[in-house]
Amino acid sequence: MKTQKIGRGRLMASRLAVGAWRIDADQGPDGVTADVEAAGIRAMHAADDAGYTFFDLADIYGGGACERIFGRALRERRGMRERIVVATKCGIRFPDDPAPGAPYRYDSSAEHIIRQAEGSLLRMGIDTIDLLMIHRPDFLGDPEEIAGAFERLRAAGKVREFGVSNFAPSQVSALQKACPMPLVVNQVAIHLARLEPFHDGTLDQCLADHITPMAWSPLAGGHLVGGNPAAEERLAAIRAALDGIAAARGESIGVIALAWLLKHPAGIVPIVGSTRPERIAEAARADAVDLSREEWYQLMQAASGGRLP
């Protein structure tokens, strides 16, 4: 798989990433069996075999279980850690943390960022996180305080690069103004059934400031490739357009939907969420599909619900 530079930082990674948020099979920290863990490890090794060098996690995935399983996958495959980029996120707190009655909330305080980054390092058994992202914008987040936490983590050698997730362009700008280091990614939901980043300035900012957009749920949670006969009209039109191009190219519609994202000049990195080794390998084929402008706009038109203005 081809690689690309991640933002204005020092990292190079594959054009598609693998997300590890399902490798605990939704069992949580206390329910992961040996079989579930073994399946999660197989999925991560399958991604390594398929050429992925970008792995996306978060401290909250599985209540920490996903990072622990991922860490074991690294330990069980010699040389894997050295050839990949490990990305994780922090900043979401669950209800009743740290005491009963506490609400679900966002926390970008320096104390929480540093504590969670250090926890992620311990769970994965690694010395350095390649990319740390703030998971959601904290309404009480102070850009100067966040920048200070980033600086402390970088100076300690615990994190190499920093980014954000689910941030609006204005929120990225406010944080970047306070940060001495570049924010190298903004991870947002982008897919054929969610075109907002094309219109709200997100992708424009990524292009202008050399921020790499990472696309979570690039297949709309599977709805772009599912066979739900009750799908609403717009989704059905997208699938029909995908079917036509996929048939002409001898590919799956999932691969075409991922290739559509890869075509954008901002260097969108789709995050493949499957834990099935065959699906992970299939998705990697999108890197070899270069859609024509006509094909790309055919899909954009179907996604937009009609002729473009």
Domain count across the chain: 1
Residue 27 lies in a domain: yes
pLDDT in the model for residue 123: 98
Residue 48 belongs to a domain with what CATH number? 3.20.20.100
pLDDT in the model for residue 228: 61
pLDDT in the model for residue 230: 53
Report the distance separating Cα 301 and Cα 241, nearest Å.
9
pLDDT in the model for residue 232: 80
Amino acid 93 reads R
pLDDT in the model for residue 234: 84
Residue 124 near residue 70, CB atoms below 8 Å: yes
Say what the pTM is.
Answer: 0.96
Residue 251 lies in a domain: no
Which whole-number Å values give the CA distances from 267 to 14, 37, 65, 146, in the listed order?
Answer: 11, 33, 30, 26
Which residues have a catalytic role annotated?
Answer: 61
Report the distance separating Cα 102 and Cα 222, nearest Å.
33
pLDDT in the model for residue 28: 87
Residue 232 lies in a domain: no
Residue 252 lies in a domain: no
Q: Cα Rg for the chain, rounded, in angstroms?
A: 19
pLDDT in the model for residue 134: 98
Residue 238 lies in a domain: no
Residue 35 lies in a domain: yes
- In this predicted model, what pLDDT tens digit does every residue of 41-92 receive, in sequence order? 999 999 999 999 999 999 999 999 999 999 999 999 999 999 999 999 999 9
Residue 50 near residue 303, CB atoms below 8 Å: no
Domain that holds residue 121: 3-226+267-289
Residue 250 lies in a domain: no
Regions of the chain with pLDDT less than 70: 227-231
Q: 201, 218, 217: which is closest to 263 by C-alpha?
A: 218
Residue 152 lies in a domain: yes
